[in-house]
Amino acid sequence: MDEFIKLLNKDHELVHYQIKDKAIIFHIQSSRKELTCPFCGSKSMRIHSTYEREIQDLPIQEKKVILLITTRKMFCDNPECQHTTFVEVHPFATPKAQKTDRLVKNILHTSAQLSSLNASKLLKSGHITVCKSSICSLLKKNASDCG
């Protein structure tokens, strides 16, 4: 299963996973010790706190996939930086997104030919949870028409 996580990003590793009735939950974390402040570019190894971020990914074998990612908040020690802390960025999802980039791509691909209501139904049967309104906002963000 760790190989699946490595396909997502080579710096991430699997801590453990649970297979449930309808979902597989992967607890993962980045193995990088040093993170770069997105505001000033300085490197930091000083952890402020950690929390768990939940992101939906592409389904596996008819099960919904949830990534629970240990995400660090770091101190930026650069005195010239405008920010004293920053949050770890995971390269496979945009900050604050609840879906991986590859899942978003899949949803957009499915939705391109359908109304967002039908796309939502079709995706659900393919074990991807996305509501009609979030399809609309994804389509808008990617500059397509929302039907």
**Looking at this protein, which amino acid is placed at residue 12?**
H
Q: Is 19 in the site for Zn ion (CB under 5 A)?
A: no
The minimum distance between CB 9 and Zn ion, in angstroms, equals: 22
Q: Is 40 in the site for Zn ion (CB under 5 A)?
A: yes
Q: For 53, phi and psi rounded to 5 degrees?
A: -105, 135
Task: Tell me whether residue 70 or residue 78 sits nearer to Zn ion (CB atom).
Answer: 78
Which part of the chain contacts Zn ion (CB under 5 A), choosing from 11-19, 36-44, 58-66, 132-140? 36-44
Q: Is 47 helix (H, G, I), strand (E, B) or coil?
A: strand
The string of DSSP letters for 66-121 reads EEEEEEEEEE---TT-S-SEEEPPPTTS-TT-SB-HHHHHHHHHHHTTS-HHHHHH
- Which of 1, 2, 18, 39: binder of Zn ion (CB under 5 A)? 39
Q: Is 76 in the site for Zn ion (CB under 5 A)?
A: yes
Which part of the chain contacts Zn ion (CB under 5 A), choosing from 1-9, 53-61, 79-87, 90-98? 79-87
